[in-house]
């Protein structure tokens, strides 16, 4: 049985068309609009890009520590694409371009990022459901299908 570590709560009214979202603590309070709208609002894909990258960064730090590397500077440029899919549905594709400047060995950097992909809660939740592409220090990272 899993032990709950944290629970986030939010309320959204109006969805992506003309919505508003707010977390229970008020730390995040955003107007929501469809992608491409320039009304000073955000969209779910942008929120997902930020949330997933932030979570993944934490997983990278955990995996680096497990391999006895202390890293201070992690940068993730994230991209989330909204795709049309079969049967008039939608899908997502995610790309992360990760910089780990403190790790010079390309194989070690790829190993840490691949391990992070195995433990990150977002990666675990979307595995097999969301196309994922990872690069670290300019090199593609091969991902296990599992």
Reported as a single tens digit per residue, the pLDDT across 7-22 is 999 999 999 889 999 9
Q: Does 3.30.559.10 match the CATH number of domain 1-42?
A: no
pLDDT of residue 70: 86
DSSP class of 3: P
Burial class (CB in 10 A: 0-12, 13-18, 19+), 51: middle
Q: Where does the chain have alpha helices with state H? A: 15-18, 44-66, 106-119, 121-126
CATH class of 44-140: alpha beta
- Beta-bridged to residue 114, according to DSSP, are none
Q: In this predicted model, what pLDDT tens digit does every residue of 82-93 receive, in sequence order?
A: 999 999 999 999
Cβ(120)–Cβ(55) below 8 Å: yes
pLDDT of residue 40: 84
Domain range summary for the chain, segments of one domain joined by +: 1-42, 44-140
Taking each helix axis from N to C end, the angle separating 44-66 and 106-119, rounded to the nearest 10 degrees, works out to: 120
d(CA 76, CA 52): 10
Pairing of strands 131-136, 89-99: parallel
Q: What is the pTM of this model?
A: 0.92
Phi, psi of 29 (to 5 degrees): -145, 100
Q: Do domains 1-42 and 44-140 have the same CATH topology?
A: no
Phi, psi of 23 (to 5 degrees): -80, 160
pLDDT of residue 145: 61
Q: Does 37 have pLDDT greater than 80?
A: no
d(CA 12, CA 90): 20
């Amino acid at each position: 049985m899993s032990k709950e570590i944290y629970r986030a709560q939010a309320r959204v009214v109006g969805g992506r068309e003309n919505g508003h979202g707010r977390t229970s603590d008020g730390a995040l309070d955003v107007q929501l609009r469809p992608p491409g709208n320039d009304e000073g609002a955000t969209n779910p894909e942008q929120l997902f890009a930020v949330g997933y990258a932030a979570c993944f960064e934490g997983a990278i730090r955990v995996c680096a520590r497990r391999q006895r590397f202390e890293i201070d500077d992690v940068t993730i440029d994230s991209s989330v694409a909204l795709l049309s899919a079969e049967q008039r549905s939608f899908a997502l594709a995610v790309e992360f371009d990760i910089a780990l400047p403190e790790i010079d060995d390309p194989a070690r950097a790829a190993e840490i990022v691949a391990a992070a992909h195995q433990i990150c809660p977002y990666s675990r939740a979307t595995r097999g459901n969301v196309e994922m592409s990872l690069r670290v220090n300019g090199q593609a990272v091969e991902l296990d299908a599992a």
